[in-house]
Amino acid sequence: ILVDEFQDISESRANLIKALKHQKPFSNIFAVGDDWQSIYRFAGSDITIFTEFEKNFGASWQGRLEQTYRCNQLIAETAASFVQRNPLQLRKAVRSSRPAIAKSIRIIPIEGDRGKPDFAKACHRLLARLDGFLGGIAAQWRSAERPKLKVMVLWRYNQLDPFERTKPSFGNIEVSGMSFHRAKGLEADYTILLDISEGDYGVPSRIEDDELLNLVMPRPETFEYAEERRLFYVALTRASRGVFLLTNSREPSRYIRELSEIAGENLRFETIDGEPIRQCPACHIGQLVERKGRNNGQFIGCNQFPECDHTQPS
């Protein structure tokens, strides 16, 4: 019995497989899946059927497919370390066929104008910048079979769609946009992740499941935001060349801090125009800015104050 995408299996489908197996003696199950990409609990998927395979189906042999052909080694290593901070995920040592590209994970804090940042506007500016940059080095990548590079814009909730039904057209990049869930299984040269910020509709999403739905869905996991972590992993690993994370400068996602802890200097903080930003060495998510103290004295402080009180001389 061959089962693909086993990480998406539900209890009813698992029972069907068990029934088929018991119909004939010496039947075998060959299941392929990635527990790191189990993101459909709302549709009935139960990750414990995967992670507790022998408990459900008996003694087994387990092989690991640890080679990836999609993202470069820096993205692959960083994303793998991130998702495995949940100790209940199966351990894997991921290797990429693509060498690491320095600074291929970039964080872009967006300022809000008396409210939430305009991520749609920022996205269009970044796309224009990326198109111009790639046009300048077109000789390095363009061919008759590859006239444009692919850029995917991804978001957690559809209300963030920046294109209003019409995607922009550029000379050097082919742009598509979709939710994190829809992006599963796809890839692009570059990805732009919108609103990687704290909040109910942020990343991770803090919207709680309806109590009635919880009665029919698989039991929740004990690790906090376990499925949201896997969903962010899926979004992070769609890009081969580079990923840009746009975040609210005042409320960056807790996942930004984790990526900074994991990747260290291989993570680049920059403005929407590509200028480097001085990162706070204390909290790893704030930016160092000029501030005024008592008696109008100048000093450098973190823009996450009062959550982060790091300061240093100007």
Same-domain status, 255 and 268: yes
Number of domains the chain is built from? 3
Same-domain status, 261 and 289: no
Same-domain status, 204 and 272: yes
Same-domain status, 291 and 187: no
pLDDT at 142: 96
Q: For the whole model, what pTM was predicted? A: 0.93
Torsion of CA 116, 120, 126, 130, to 10 degrees: 160
Q: Can you tell me the distance from the alpha carbon of 229 to that of 238, in angstroms, rounded to the nearest whole number?
A: 15
Residue 116: what residue type? K
Domain boundary among 42, 63, 84: 63
Where is 155: in which H helix or E strand? strand 149-155
Same-domain status, 235 and 169: yes
Strand boundaries in the chain, DSSP class E: 2-3, 30-31, 67-68, 95-96, 105-110, 149-155, 173-179, 188-193, 239-248, 267-269, 288-292, 298-302, 311-313
Same-domain status, 311 and 261: no
Residue 54: what residue type? E
Domain that holds residue 310: 285-314
Same-domain status, 250 and 105: yes
Same-domain status, 42 and 83: no
Same-domain status, 143 and 212: yes
pLDDT at 112: 85
Across the chain, which has 314 residues, the per-10-residue mean pLDDT values are 97 96 94 98 94 94 96 98 98 97 97 88 97 97 96 96 89 98 98 97 88 75 96 98 97 96 95 94 89 83 91 88
Torsion of CA 264, 266, 269, 271, to 10 degrees: 180
Same-domain status, 98 and 146: yes
Q: Which residue has the tokens 């320095």?
A: 102
Rounded to 5 degrees, what are φ and ψ at 31?
-115, 135
The three state secondary structure string of 8-69 is HCEHHHHHHHHHHHHHCCCCCCEECCCHHHCCCHHHCECHHHHHCHHHHHCCCCCCCCCEEC
Same-domain status, 43 and 72: no
pLDDT at 153: 98
pLDDT at 87: 97
Same-domain status, 266 and 135: yes
217: domain CATH number?
3.40.50.300
pLDDT at 212: 66
Q: Can you tell me the distance from the alpha carbon of 21 to that of 18, in angstroms, rounded to the nearest whole number?
A: 5
